[in-house]
């Protein structure tokens, strides 16, 4: 509705502000009717008000983007904000900041029902919509002026003489630098948001985290490809290419190679930088040879993700080559996201890092908890978290009603034991670092490791009852069950 304004419209004797105001009114009314039609019986919560709020906020973001960058970028800000809002789970007890960062996910109430905290999502989206409306009505823009043909011709002539080489030619028409920068920012934001899963471990970053978010990263290639393919429409190549000595196939191949190169840089640079940061953190606790081994041997899953994004970039280039429509880029993104979600593909499925480390290095790094003298051992890549694990184990044992019956040797792993395991399948009780990773280890691990202790202890010592072990580890209120004495006796025997 908002990108088809021409110089004739701007020069018309009719009021331009009135024309734009009518378009805005139509947009607001249509989104309101559609929101009500989707949720006719649910006004608040996640119904009509929340949907209309999101529509108005996204329209405002689009208008702001159109004013700051240009009509061709009207879809960028709404699409990025919508995707970023999907990158965390909505909490049961939201805080004030959840209504800002997660405005598109928040219910349509003025306060959060479970906490009573003010919900700022409605005022935030309305403020963004108002800013977009004002920008659009007043014609505010930071993009290149299109009000006179002379200014356009002058800017194009000057570009060939004064623009830096990296901005000139097809590189500039393909938006090479903005695409590389924006793609790298999105990739870095996605990976940094999961730092609790890979901090201090290049292997976890390359083999688990990047493959697990492939459905966010690979569609970047589709968007880049469509935009690079549409460069022929933005630069006028579609008009004079019939006179070119190069064939259409060669020109399409050049555009595809450029799109794949942009995608390669946008995804590989953030991954490489973050892996080096993790490697520096790891190098403070293990030999440099081990760090180099971890970096090199863990690359293949990440290379598969980058290769998939490059393939979609080539496919997107073909789509953009056929049409210069603005909506093709977001359509390509949506289709790529749907395709990645629909495909039953698990690139992260492979050797468990804990098993790999145990086979390669063994549990050779150990420490002893200060209070209860429990020996905690880990593989060298996890050795930095031994003091934090020992501190948490001391805390758990102090709260236990029967600490002398608990294991005296515990293995520290990345994930620990998740869920109930068959009896006798675990040789040593385990705890997991979980999401407590970072550039620096914490002083003490979180309470989530107690669950791993419960399940691994029951699997380590056959015949024990899960409820009894939960009570002994202070994970349930103290209670003398009929099987408690037998469980304690079995634990004492397993410790021998």
Are residues 321 and 398 both part of a single domain? Answer: no
pLDDT tens-place string over residues 147-159: 433 333 333 334 4
Q: What are phi and psi of 367, to 5 degrees?
A: -145, 170
Both structure tokens of 36: 């009500």
Same domain, 147 and 220: no
Res 238: pLDDT: 58
- For position 496, what pLDDT does the model report? 63
Is the same domain home to 332 and 398? no
pLDDT at position 161, please?
41
Tell whether 379 and 395 lie within a shared domain.
yes
Integer Cα distance of 448 and 473 in angstroms: 12
Query: Which of 130, 162, 194 is the C-terminal boundary of a domain?
Result: 162
* DSSP per residue, 206-252: IIIIHHHTHHHHHHHHHHHHHHHHTHHHHTTHHHHGGGSSS-HHHHH
pLDDT of residue 264: 95
Among the listed residues 452, 230, 399, the one whose alpha carbon sits nearest the alpha carbon of residue 324:
230
Same domain (yes/no): 490, 395: yes
Give the pLDDT score at 272: 95
pLDDT value at residue 239: 61
Q: 144 and 2 share a domain?
A: yes
Q: Looking at the structure, tell me whether residues 18 and 95 fall in a common domain.
A: yes
Whether residues 3 and 101 share a domain: the answer is yes
The Cα diameter of the chain in Å comes to 95
One domain for residues 15 and 149: yes
Final residue of a structural domain among 140, 162, 184: 162
State the pLDDT at residue 213. Answer: 86
- The last residue of one of the domains, among 315, 350, 385, is 350
Length of the chain: 496
Q: So what's the pLDDT on residue 393? A: 92
What is the reported pLDDT for 105?
86
Question: What's the domain count of the chain?
Answer: 3
Which positions of the chain have pLDDT values less than 50? 144-167
Q: Is 376 in the same domain as 336? A: no
Same domain, 346 and 364: no
pLDDT of residue 53: 92
| Domain housing 310 | 169-350
One domain for residues 460 and 482 = yes
Please give the pLDDT value at position 169: 63
């Amino acid at each position: 509705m908002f990108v088809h304004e021409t110089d004739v419209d701007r020069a018309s004797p009719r009021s331009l502000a009135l024309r734009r105001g009518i378009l805005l009114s139509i947009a607001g009314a249509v989104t309101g009717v559609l929101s009500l039609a989707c949720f006719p019986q649910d006004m608040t919560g996640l119904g009509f008000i929340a949907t209309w709020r999101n529509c108005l906020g996204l329209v405002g973001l689009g208008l702001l983007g159109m004013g700051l960058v240009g009509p061709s970028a009207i879809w960028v800000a709404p699409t990025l904000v919508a995707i970023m809002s999907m990158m965390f789970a909505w909490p049961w007890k939201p805080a004030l900041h959840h209504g800002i960062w997660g405005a598109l996910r928040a219910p349509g109430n003025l306060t959060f029902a479970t906490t009573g905290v003010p919900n700022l999502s409605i005022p935030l989206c309305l403020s963004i919509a108002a800013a977009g409306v004002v920008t659009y009505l007043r014609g505010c823009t930071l993009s290149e002026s299109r009000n006179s043909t002379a200014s356009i011709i002058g800017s194009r002539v000057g570009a060939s003489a004064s623009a830096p080489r990296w901005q000139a030619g097809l590189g500039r028409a393909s938006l090479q630098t903005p695409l590389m920068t924006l793609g790298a920012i999105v990739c870095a934001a996605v990976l940094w948001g999961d730092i609790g899963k890979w901090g201090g471990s290049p292997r976890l970053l390359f083999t688990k985290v990047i493959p697990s978010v492939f459905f966010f990263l690979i569609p970047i290639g589709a968007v880049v490809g469509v935009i690079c393919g549409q460069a022929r429409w933005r630069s006028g190549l579609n008009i004079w290419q019939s006179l070119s000595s190069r064939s259409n196939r060669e020109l399409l191949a050049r555009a595809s190679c450029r799109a794949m190169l942009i995608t390669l840089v946008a995804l590989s640079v953030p991954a490489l930088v973050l892996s080096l940061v993790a490697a520096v953190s790891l190098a403070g606790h293990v030999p440099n040879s081990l760090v180099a081994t971890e970096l090199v041997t863990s690359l293949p899953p990440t290379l598969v993700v980058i290769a998939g994004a490059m393939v979609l970039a080539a496919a997107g280039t073909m789509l953009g080559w056929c049409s210069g429509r603005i909506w093709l880029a977001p359509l390509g993104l949506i289709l790529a996201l749907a395709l990645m979600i629909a495909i039953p593909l698990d690139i992260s499925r492979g050797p468990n890092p804990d098993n790999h480390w145990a086979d390669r290095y063994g549990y050779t790094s150990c420490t002893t908890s200060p209070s209860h003298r429990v020996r905690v051992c880990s593989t060298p890549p996890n050795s930095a978290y031994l003091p934090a694990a020992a501190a948490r184990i001391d805390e758990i044992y102090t709260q236990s009603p029967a600490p002398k019956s608990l294991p005296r040797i515990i293995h520290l792993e990345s994930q620990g034991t998740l869920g109930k395991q068959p009896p006798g399948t675990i040789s040593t009780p385990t705890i997991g670092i979980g999401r407590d990773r970072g550039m620096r280890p914490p002083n003490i691990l979180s309470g989530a490791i107690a669950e791993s202790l419960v399940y691994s202890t029951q699997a380590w010592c056959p015949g024990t009852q899960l409820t009894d072990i939960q009570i002994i580890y202070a994970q349930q209120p103290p209670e003398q069950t009929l099987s408690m004495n037998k469980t304690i006796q079995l634990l004492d025997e397993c410790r021998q």
